[in-house]
Structure 1
Amino acid sequence: MDLELRHLKTIRAIADAGSLTKAATVLGLAQPALSAQLKRIERALGGELFERGRHGVRATPLGEFVLARARVVLPAVSGLREEALRFGRAWEGGAGFRLGATHGPLLGALVDRLAAAHPGVPVTTHTSWSEREIASRTADGRLDFALVGTCGASTPPESELLVWREVARDPVFVMLPTGHPLAGRQEIDLAALAGEAWTDVPGDGCFADCFTAACARAGFTPSSVYETDVASCVHLVQVGRAVGLCRATFPPTHGLVTRPLAGAPLYWRHLLGWHPTAPAHDTAPAVFAQARAAHAEAAARSESYTAWLAAPSTRLP
């Protein structure tokens, strides 16, 4: 594993918090996920960084060495990004909208709405499975806006540099082939899918860990998970190779249905981010309003999501 800036941020957060539990809360991660991440970082650096005790954690000599370097490197990188942004491409009236997004229906709908509202103004896009890449490009001025998602209440990437606004939050639904024995149900218990293979799109957040934890609470471990692009996920569901995890706004698709999981064990937040000192900051309220309208339209097109929203017991954290 290559050491990245996010790993240094994790080490600093653990040291500042004094315990893995408190650091997990600050980082928006489950404590087991943070423990696993720390073990990977320690393997990469060649030794333990913290001693665990009843009263929390304390840095080892190696940990103190790494922390001293991290406290120099992290502010230096933040300063570099601020300077790069100031010298980056200045926003000129009518120059266009540069959007970065992970794959999903909201990006296309937002592009359509911006193009309709601003005829003749170019709208360019950059897509990636990595939320961190999108956020990094926005932080250093290569993109104006980041349209990404985070699992549950987890902290979005580059939160120290970017302004993030929540567009919406949705439950995670499951995709089934139309011939699946459970396809006719209005909602499905996660435990009822214990014997299935799964598919979803990749990401660099904590969703995989949260899904595994939700399955454990339901009494099983997923037999296999195929992480691949959206089109391949759809194909695997249509041919019955796997059931899929998807956002509730996933559009109607031939050969499959989407259904809510009982109790909404997983949810997803759609976020729009931008740099507060970038020229695009002035257009952020309008772009945010268009993103919210795009989400509302996507939700209205899904019969299963519309039914879920209308149910009296429906709620998310």
Structure 2
Amino acid sequence: MEIDLRHLRLVSVVADQGSVTKASAALGMAQPALSAQLNRIDQALGGPVFVRDRHGARPTPLGELVLRHARVLLPAMEAFHDDVRRHVLDRPDVATSLRVGTVATVLGGIFLSRLRADLAGVNVTSFTSWSADAVALRLADGTLDIALVGACGDAVLPTEGGVEWTQVRTDPVFVLVPERHRFADADEVPLGELARENWLSAPGDGCFERCFVAACAHAGFTPREVSETERASAVEQVREGHAIALVQPLLLDHPGVRAVPLQAEPLRWTQYVGWRGDAGERFDVDLVRAAAVYSHAEAVRRSPAYERYVVAQGSAR
């Protein structure tokens, strides 16, 4: 069997969903059929793409290699199809499809679903990156139409090429600890009490790590170790007690771990939605902005512990 774009899409969805069960639901496939496809992909590549166990599906080093190529090839093919479609329709000013980029946000799935529901007849496709700068460049050159980006509270997003950003919401960063951790049931934890921990954070090219180190210095210590990893891997490593993680407090309902607020909220994470300044000629930017706001509100609603925290703070943020 030769690997084609359809197989790359399957691998990408499994990686995004974090489990074969969730991916099969997202793809509308029976779980045994998806598992069989993944087995055939493993055989074609000569090794496993995922580690699959009771905790979900995590990419192997080979899987990470496949995903790096998929993140390039899939958006390129979508852009090719879009360009052909526009040429045939001879309507370049009207969006028949929208390419949406996401960076460092847990809201992407809800946001994309909302757009697909609101923009009937428009084909919505997605692209994921670790770099806000890279996504801003793609907005500027027209290879992306919309971006939903999470960034450190002190970050300034690029606006070159006429890119415009709207702030959606800002949330405090929580710390994810094992359920057996001494602060697992605390209402909040002072950052300085975690001085001897090993830390995990999400990959990215922004200022978050610098802001974290500065917050640690303010609390009187230098962090021992800060490693980057994607969210599913962070949950697994925290559950096993290897480290604790800095996390967005949304959509974090996982067994064996607890998300705990940091005292005085020393770190914050802001969600932005962006497009090029002339985007209003192709799609309803107010509708897209409303979809982003809805996505955050829905994510809070699906996160009972964080929703209680927001209510206790007396702010809907």
TM-score of the superposed pair, with normalisation by structure 2: 0.67
Provide the residue aligned with 1:285 in structure 2.
286
Report the secondary structure of 1:100's partner residue.
Answer: strand
- Stretches of structure 2 that go unaligned for 5 or more consecutive residues are 1-85
In the alignment, does 2:177 pair up with 1:176?
Answer: yes
| In 1: Cα distance, 2:288 partner to 2:274 partner | 10
Aligned CA RMSD, in angstroms, stands at 2.2
| In 1: Cα distance, 2:175 partner to 2:101 partner | 26
Runs of 4+ in 1 over 3 A off after TM superposition: 88-94, 278-282, 312-316
Provide the residue aligned with 2:152 in structure 1.
151
Provide the residue aligned with 1:212 in structure 2.
213
Provide the residue aligned with 1:192 in structure 2.
193
| In 2: Cα distance, 1:301 partner to 1:172 partner | 17
TM-score of the superposed pair, with normalisation by structure 1: 0.67
Taking every aligned residue pair, what percent have the same amino acid on both sides? Answer: 40
Provide the residue aligned with 2:63 in structure 1.
none
Provide the residue aligned with 1:166 in structure 2.
167
**Residues 140 and 161 in structure 2, CA contact (< 8 A), matched pair in contact too:** no
| In 2: Cα distance, 1:179 partner to 1:91 partner | 57
Letter of the structure 1 residue corresponding to residue 300 of structure 2: A
Q: Which has the larger radius of gyration?
A: 1
| In 2: Cα distance, 1:164 partner to 1:184 partner | 37
Structure 1 residues 238 and 91: alpha-carbon distance in aligned structure 2, compared to 1, 3 A threshold? farther
| In 2: Cα distance, 1:244 partner to 1:91 partner | 45
In the alignment, does 2:112 pair up with 1:111?
Answer: yes
| In 2: Cα distance, 1:203 partner to 1:104 partner | 11
What does the per-residue CA deviation read over 1:172-212, in whole Å, with 9 as the maximum and x for residues that have no partner?
11111111111001111111111110001111111100000
**Residues 105 and 149 in structure 2, CA contact (< 8 A), matched pair in contact too:** no
How many residues get paired? 229
| In 2: Cα distance, 1:160 partner to 1:218 partner | 40
- Map residues 5-20 of structure 1 onto 2, 5 A cutoff: none
Q: CA deviation at 1:150?
A: 2.0
**Residues 141 and 278 in structure 1, CA contact (< 8 A), matched pair in contact too:** no
Report the secondary structure of 1:147's partner residue.
Answer: strand
Provide the residue aligned with 1:227 in structure 2.
228
Provide the residue aligned with 1:296 in structure 2.
297
Provide the residue aligned with 1:60 in structure 2.
none
Structure 1 residues 245 and 233: alpha-carbon distance in aligned structure 2, compared to 1, 3 A threshold? same
What does the per-residue CA deviation read over 1:12-52, in whole Å, with 9 as the maximum and x for residues that have no partner?
xxxxxxxxxxxxxxxxxxxxxxxxxxxxxxxxxxxxxxxxx
Q: CA deviation at 1:119?
A: 4.0
**Residues 104 and 151 in structure 2, CA contact (< 8 A), matched pair in contact too:** no
Q: CA deviation at 1:309?
A: 1.2
Q: CA deviation at 1:220?
A: 0.9
Provide the residue aligned with 1:262 in structure 2.
263
**Residues 279 and 285 in structure 2, CA contact (< 8 A), matched pair in contact too:** no
What does the per-residue CA deviation read over 1:46-72, in whole Å, with 9 as the maximum and x for residues that have no partner?
xxxxxxxxxxxxxxxxxxxxxxxxxxx
| In 1: Cα distance, 2:266 partner to 2:191 partner | 8
